[in-house]
C-alpha cells in the first residue's frame, strides 16, 4: 500500500520475504560485489547520495508555491481533447464524459 499506516494484513511475512529475495537491485548489488566491481563502501556512498538527492527534491517540492488551479491538467494527457474542460467533461455536453 501507499499509506504509511498500512498494516500489511493482506500479505504474509513469508510472502513479503519471498519478494525481498527477488529484489532486482539487491541481486545486482550482490552480483557486482561478488565480481569485485562494487565495494561495500561505494554502495553505502551511492545510497547516501541517492538519499541526499531525494531529500533535496522533497525539500524543493515542499518549499515551492502551490500550482495554480489551471495547471491541474498540464502535462497529464498526451493528446488532450480540444473541448475537455478541467473538470473532465466536454464543454459541448455529453451523457458520459468518459465516452
Q: Spell out the domain ranges in the chain.
A: 23-68
Whole-angstrom Cα distance, residue 70 to residue 86?
7
The pLDDT, as a whole number, for residue 87 is 56
Cα–Cα distance for residue pair 32/38, rounded to 1 Å: 5
Mean pLDDT lowest among 10-14, 53-57, 91-95: 91-95
Q: Which residues contact 56 (CB under 8 A, 6 or more apart)?
A: none
Closest by CA to 29, choosing from 21, 20, 38, is 38
Q: What is the pLDDT of residues 21-37, one digit of tens each?
A: 899 999 999 999 999 99
Cell of residue 49, nine digits: 547520495
Q: Are 49 and 42 in contact (CB under 8 A)?
A: no
Angstrom distance (rounded) from CA 73 to CA 80: 9
Tens-place pLDDT, residues 16-73: 889 888 999 999 999 999 999 999 999 999 999 999 999 999 999 999 998 888 887 7
Amino acid at each position: 500500500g501507499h499509506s504509511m499506516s498500512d498494516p500489511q494484513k493482506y500479505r504474509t511475512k513469508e510472502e513479503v520475504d519471498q519478494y525481498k529475495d527477488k529484489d532486482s537491485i539487491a541481486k545486482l548489488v550482490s552480483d557486482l560485489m561478488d565480481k569485485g566491481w562494487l565495494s561495500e563502501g561505494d554502495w553505502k556512498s551511492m545510497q547516501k547520495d541517492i538519499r541526499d538527492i531525494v531529500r533535496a527534491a522533497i525539500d524543493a517540492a515542499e518549499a515551492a508555491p502551490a500550482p495554480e488551479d489551471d495547471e491541474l491538467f498540464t502535462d497529464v494527457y498526451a493528446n488532450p481533447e480540444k473541448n475537455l474542460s478541467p473538470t473532465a467533461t466536454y464543454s459541448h455536453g455529453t451523457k458520459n464524459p468518459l465516452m
